[in-house]
Amino acid sequence: MGATWAAIGRSAGYLVASLGAGLVSLVLLPLTAAVVVAAPVGGAVLLPGWVRLVDRWARWHRTRAARLLGAPVPEMPAPETGLRGLLRARSTRRLVRWLPFAAVAGTAAGLLGLLAVLMPPAALQFPFWWALPGDTVFLWLRVADPFTAACATAGQVTAGLVLLRWAVVPAARVHARLTLTRLTPSHAELLAARVDELSRTRADVVDSHGAELRRIERDLHDGTQARLVSIALQLGVAKEALAGHPDAVAIIERAHEGTEEAMAELRELIRGIHPPVLADRGLVGALESLAGRTQVPVRLDAADPGRLPEAVETAAYFVVTEAVTNAVRHGSPTAVDVSLARDGGVLRLRVSDDGSGGVDEARGTGVRGIRHRAAALDGTVAVSSPAGGPTVITVELPCGS
């Protein structure tokens, strides 16, 4: 019996709190409509903060409902940050749909709980009504004598206890279940949020990986390469000092040649990690340098894309380099056309040649490497290479808006 009345007390408290929450939601409802209507004008300032406020309000309701039902608090993705993302997000639409429910259902359920709680103590006033001057009427019953007052008192106390015993707990649980149903994200929404999180995590990993590669490139350039240059100079000095000893000179010459070969390989390795021309001249300048040193004429149409994430800039350079190299090596073209343009949050690259075509991805690694670089940034690659040409490779890389 004690557990039953404890549950009744928790449910009654939940419903009374729902009354206050419903009244607050009634105030938030027109304010939310006003913010949504004003979104095209001041949405970038008002809407994100307002959605975060409503989201915290919804999270409080969800936690309270889950606690009443003894259920785990369901996961709820964080709201988007950008204006465009907020307007498209399922979570925003879910909050907008939930708010009218919170206002209407919360107020109605709260009034029921408040009525059940107040009816028994409020009935204690009836024994005094019959003594008041004038006629006092309660539910069309004239309270004019002690017997009528006692009957009214007993009737209201009984009605209040009935509501408390058999209506409060079901009403509270129904309201809590409906709240969780309306606020719990769907499986598709949770999956989309997880994909977004993994995409952001992967982007962070790519950025960290790129930063680490650039650190290695600096260490190799400033440390290992400088030491090899010093060794080569010392070998040259030793060769001159031992000019009268042919055997020693031959050994030093072989060591000097090996050192030169190591430096050449190291320079190629450094360019493969992060080309110095990319850091010195930017993406457009690096592509102009690539066009200038390619054996086949390369026509470059590249507008300045503005500031790009370093990972995107590096991937774009290597994609174009790989595509041009493959065209010259396998297609025997007379010219290669390279275009680069930025459209909002997408960087578009297009490399076409008039060579023999017939690119077979299964038999080479060039196009697969391009696909891997683009996939690391959630980019897309389209290849068109019929036999006889032309070959056209189109790559789109997300680069932020």
Q: What is the mean pLDDT of residues 282-304?
A: 86
Q: pLDDT higher for 68 or 260?
A: 68
CB atoms within 10 A of CB 158: 13
Backbone φ and ψ of 390, nearest 5°: -80, 165
Closest CA to 171 of 221, 107, 98: 107
CB atoms within 10 A of CB 301: 10
Quote the tokens at residue 302: 């590249």
Where are the domains positioned within the chain? 2-185, 200-273, 281-398
Quote the tokens at residue 314: 């590096």
Q: Could you give the residue ranges of the DSSP H alpha helices within 220-333?
A: 225-241, 246-273, 276-293, 310-326
Band (pLDDT 50/70/90 cuts) for residue 24 is: very high
The continuous run of DSSP H or E covering 126 comes out as helix 126-129
With a threshold of 0.75, does the pTM exceed it?
A: no
Quote the tokens at residue 131: 């003594």
Quote the tokens at residue 315: 């991937």
The pLDDT tens digits for 299-331 are 988 888 877 887 788 888 888 888 888 888 887
Task: Provide the CATH topology of domain 281-398.
Answer: Heat Shock Protein 90 (3.30.565)
Share of the chain above pLDDT 70, in %: 76
Q: Which of 17-26, 247-256, 270-279, 326-335 has the lowest mean pLDDT?
A: 270-279
Q: pLDDT higher for 48 or 152?
A: 48
